[in-house]
Amino acid sequence: MNLETLDWDLDLLALFNIPRNVLADIKPTSHVYAHTPEGVPIAALVGDQQGAMIGQTCFAVGDSKTTYGTGNFALLNTGSEIIRSTHGLLTTVCYKFGNEPAVYALEGSVAVTGSAIQWLRDQLQIITTSSEIEALAGSVDDNGGVYFVPAFSGLFAPYWRSDARGVIVGLSRASTNAHLARAALEAIAYQTRDVLDAMSADSKVALKSMRVDGGATANNLLMQIQADVMGIEIIRPEIIETTALGAAYAAGIAVGIWQSPSEVEKNWRENQRWSSTQNPDVRAEKYEQWKKAVNRTLNWIE
């Protein structure tokens, strides 16, 4: 799709020899497409991450959210501006409500976050359930110098390095399962910071807060680590499964249950917020160590 015309890109159609008339028309996110035989309107079509943006009511320029699952996905609302990333991010349509102008976003994806915890559970077996990671990681005050970069299938945004593979560095005789567990939670937070720093560089927006959703946000220690790593407020809503909620909001706007996004915004409720407790100098030093660990993953696959 051409982001400017919001229609199929004619140059790409010609390149791949695809006739325009065999493709469906591209419609807004919030729009009555058809009805079921019983007369129920089908009134929204939205991708997972765009749905989460709507569910988090990230309707203002500069609003951002990160969804925490087996991988992490961050989006930043750029309004009507199409920002072409120079820092390894994707430019995408965030949503389009009816005849209103399209709203765009920058998007960054992290391949392995929650699945790193599953790896500790299933392969290393240092925990028996994923939820145990919080107590184990919380039993130590820091990572003991251990950094874990779970580049099992390479690194996604903002690096895009398929030659990378996972590393655990900084081990000593004093290292324990708890240090590795904490390093795994920190890896989720650091990879998220990598993406959000790229977004700030592309958009020139200095983030002061970030909304979060997805199953892993139930881990309060992870959320505190995320606030410490980024130095901004991390905000969790009452409803953390926001993708489905966003699809419902989009459908509701299309059929008139809500008249505008501003009406939907009134439904959003905060559950908890975390602020950084880490000294900025310590934060910078630890992030440099993380970047050093990331460099160890590169050029592993020829």
CATH number where 296 lies: 3.30.420.40
Instruction: Say if 143 falls within a structural domain.
Output: yes
Distances (CA, A) of 10 to 21, 25, 91: 12, 14, 19
Position 290 scores a pLDDT of 99
Whether pTM exceeds 0.85 = yes
Instruction: Say if 296 falls within a structural domain.
Output: yes
CA dist 180 and 147 (Å) reads 8
> pLDDT per residue over 89-110, tens digit each?
999 999 999 999 999 999 999 9
Asked if 192 contacts 72 with a C-beta cutoff of 8 angstroms, the reply is: yes
Instruction: Kindly provide the residue ranges of all beta strands, DSSP E only, lying in the chain, ordered along the sequence.
Output: 30-35, 41-44, 64-68, 72-79, 90-95, 103-110, 147-149, 167-169, 209-213, 233-237, 270-274
Instruction: Say if 163 falls within a structural domain.
Output: yes
Position 190 scores a pLDDT of 99
Instruction: Say if 51 falls within a structural domain.
Output: no
Instruction: Say if 10 falls within a structural domain.
Output: no
Asked if 65 contacts 211 with a C-beta cutoff of 8 angstroms, the reply is: yes
Position 270 scores a pLDDT of 98
Number of neighbours of residue 149 by Cβ within 10 angstroms? 25
CA dist 54 and 264 (Å) reads 9
DSSP assignment of 260-272: SHHHHHTT--EEE
Say which residues have a Cβ less than 8 Å from residue 297's Cβ, sequence separation at least 6: 149, 151, 155, 161, 164, 165, 166, 167
Domain that includes residue 217, residue range: 57-241+269-302
Instruction: Say if 252 falls within a structural domain.
Output: no
Query: How large is the angle between the packed helices 280-297 and 220-230, nearest 10 degrees?
Result: 100
Position 302 scores a pLDDT of 81
Asked if 133 contacts 219 with a C-beta cutoff of 8 angstroms, the reply is: yes
And the tokens for 194?
Answer: 């990598």
The residue ranges of the chain whose pLDDT is under 70 are none
Instruction: Say if 116 falls within a structural domain.
Output: yes
CA 226 centroid distance within chain? 13
Instruction: Say if 261 falls within a structural domain.
Output: no
Which residues are bridge partners to 90 per DSSP? 107
Residue 40: phi, psi to the nearest 5?
-80, 125
And the tokens for 108?
Answer: 């960054």
191 membership: H or E segment, kind and range: helix 177-203
Query: How large is the angle between the packed helices 220-230 and 177-203, nearest 10 degrees?
Result: 50
And the tokens for 148?
Answer: 């874990």
Structurally, how many domains does the chain consist of? 1
